[in-house]
Amino acid sequence: MQDEERYMTLNLQLKKRSSSQIFQLKHKDCSVMLHWYKVLLGISGTVNGILLLTLISLSLLDSS
């Protein structure tokens, strides 16, 4: 009986550790993904700004 209680205690401790480790891994993955989303958002914003300036300059050249 004592061995079973010790096993259950160790088993619960391992489950708690593994769930906290899983949470930490997921949190790190989310922060990495968030970083790359911000990078891609900045790049696409820059490209859109360049395209907008090109469109404006072409329309000004066409009208003159």
Rounded distance, CA 4 to CA 6, Å?
A: 5
- Condensed to tens digits (0 to 9), the pLDDT of residues 8-62 reads 555 555 555 566 666 666 677 778 888 999 999 999 999 999 999 999 999 999 8
Rounded distance, CA 54 to CA 2, Å?
A: 78
Confidence at residue 6, expressed as pLDDT on a 0 to 100 scale:
58
pTM above threshold 0.75: no
Q: 3-class DSSP state for residue 50?
A: helix
What single-letter DSSP state applies at residue 10?
H
Confidence at residue 23, expressed as pLDDT on a 0 to 100 scale:
63
Burial class (CB in 10 A: 0-12, 13-18, 19+), 7: exposed
* Two tokens, residue 53: 């300036």
